[in-house]
Chain A
Amino acid sequence: MKKKETCLDDLIDNEQLMLLTGEVFDQTKKTFKFKYVAATILIFLGLVGSLNFNTVYAKVSEVFVHIFGQGIERADYFKDYWVLKEPVTFQLENGGEGIIEAAYKNKDEVTVVVTAPDRAVWTSKENKLLIGDKAYESTRFEMGVIYPQAFDGDFDKVNYKIEYGFLYNKEEAEDQEMYLKIANQKIPLEFILPVEMSGMEVDKVQLKGFEMYVMSLSQTNDSVAIAIKPKNQRLEDYAIYLHDPVLIDENGKEYRIDYLSQSRNELKCYEPIEGKFVGFKSGGICYRTKMKGHYNKEDPVTFPKVKIPLPKMNEKVALNKEIEIEGIKILIKEVELTSAGISITYASREQGAILSSIDMHPTQLTFECVGNTLGSNEYRITGDFSAYTGQEIEMDVSEVEMRIKQAVEYHFED
């Protein structure tokens, strides 16, 4: 039987079409920022009256925020941002927990920050939509309870009702959204998560909102992505994107970050060492953190003696022996002895290279590792053939010269 072909949209009946259309055109568009929370904001403004800035814990000019549906954003445009002294939780009807920790103000608009971190609340085992209209129908919370410290307004007189919301599992990297119902008006709530990296200072203002572990770092052409994990295990992992990050030393001198390694809970930077690196800066924000250790060229370094067996004349011997000098691993792949000299083929961890042949006499030895796992840095290991016994070559490494780059590690406090 010949198969039929029909456009998908022709197979959708009216009932479905109405439902789908209603979902898009009949709801407030979920758009970032303040455009679509204007209604909320105006109501808040009306209720809040004047805000007492002194009662809030921190007010920062810039902060990273995680905006559901948008990802991590720099909140440069948030002129005022408040983090509550104590996050206030509220119980959802189905047993879940909502948390309100902060609010922000932009121009004449104020909105609240609500997070609903308990995934179990939001997702079902099948990763299907769990929260429908009914799940939130009667969930109420008192804003007055939520904001006892932060605002002097009349929140306590107002009931806020979460009418309904859609929340999804993060595995599908889906946006989350929720609506508040205020005085019969359905208002979308934006979920915003202020992000703080543990142990860091933001323009010398310590944020206490969220504590995060830095988990890993990766670099793209123009930005550095930092994966962070909140200390609160229930929260999801996030990523921060820093554009054009630079290192700064304790004197405020800036260095461009050439490379950041991807490693758990640490930030490795490779730069000329001209001072102690104590943080990095992104945009107008200076991040400082305690450094647990770093490469210090003043430290005495004991270089190992490298011994390589010498093959017979016109013989090539496969060695596959790894030597490690100052953390730089070099795989000596093979050695060949010819009348022209000794040829050593070696490879750094990622990229092989052939050492130019050297003569039989004690001479300077040079390894140049380019494009190894430490990034694009070049390492020059220099030394001498201190001994040539006829059976093996002994190389005295006199210097490990990381002339172009040096490694610095930043460990973020646990």
Chain B
Amino acid sequence: MDIGMQLDEQMEIIDETIYAHYYKTAEYVIRNILRGIGSNEDIEDCVHETLEEVLMNREKFDVARGSIKTYVCVIARSKALYARKKLVKHQTVPLEDDLVLVYDDELEVKEAVKHILKQLNANERKLFTLRFLYYMPIEEVSKTLGLSRGNVDVKLSRLRKKLVKLFNTFGIDVREGR
């Protein structure tokens, strides 16, 4: 066997390992975003697409920016949201806890978002990420953060108020729902 073939085989093994290792991670993210919308097949397809993209674009992965797991989550989220859009094209299925910003200037609002996210503490950021970016149900959030459901509700409500307040200081209105 020549070196090229050996390398190919090794790459295949690595790919399979990565695929198997991160399947659950991707599925977890996707299942939460597609819950109530997609079938198991939709979810599986999405997971497959996610991992394919991760493997195909491995050169884009930058360890300085985050772990492979993080990378997988981000890709999975993006795939799931895209799939969700397609699936709900003719339905009105609002994502829970969606905040819509009403603004004039896109550049300004992006800067404001960056600034505001820095104003949040680590726990608030985690909550924000889980709920507003990954649309996890409260039960999942509470499990992930090790908090009671009630506690999550309270923290979420505070966070929502805080975000609205912070955005308002930038002259940006916030309304709920997509």
Contacts and interface: CB of A to CB of B under 8 A. Distances in A.
Q: Do A and B bind each other?
A: yes
Interface of A: 1, 3-9, 11-26, 29-32, 36, 69-70, 128-129, 166, 168, 172, 174-175, 177
Interface in B52-98: 65-67, 69-71, 73-74, 77, 81, 98
* Residue of B103, B114, B146 with highest tally of chain A CB at under 10 A: B146
B173 to A, nearest CB: 8
Contacts of B110: 11, 13
Majority SS of interface residues in chain B?
A: helix
B144 interface: yes
B114 A16 contact: yes
B104 interface: yes
Interface of B: 25, 65-67, 69-71, 73-74, 77, 81, 98-104, 106, 109-110, 113-114, 117, 119, 121-126, 128-130, 132-134, 143-147, 163, 173-175, 178
A23 B103 contact: no
Contacts of B69: 25-26
Contact of A14 (B74, B81, B129): B74
A239 to B, nearest CB: 14
A24 B104 contact: no
B125 to A, nearest CB: 6
A22 B109 contact: no
Contacts of A70: 146-147
Contact of B74 (A6, A18, A32, A129): A18
Contacts of B25: 25
Given A7-B178, A16-B114, A17-B133, A30 B125 contact: no
A3 B74 contact: no
Contacts, number: 125
Nearest to A8: B99
B145 A6 contact: no
Given A4-B102, A17-B133, A19-B66, A11 B121 contact: no
A18 B121 contact: no
Contacts of B81: 9
A24 B147 contact: no
Given A4-B106, A16-B114, A23-B122, A29 B145 contact: yes
A27 to B, nearest CB: 9
B99 A26 contact: no
Given A30-B145, A172-B121, A21 B73 contact: yes
A30 B130 CA distance: 14
A288 B109 CA distance: 59
B66 A6 contact: no
B133 A174 contact: no
Given A24-B129, A30-B146, A174-B123, A18 B103 contact: no
B143 to A, nearest CB: 8
Given A8-B99, A26-B67, A69-B146, A20 B125 contact: yes
Nearest to B119: A128
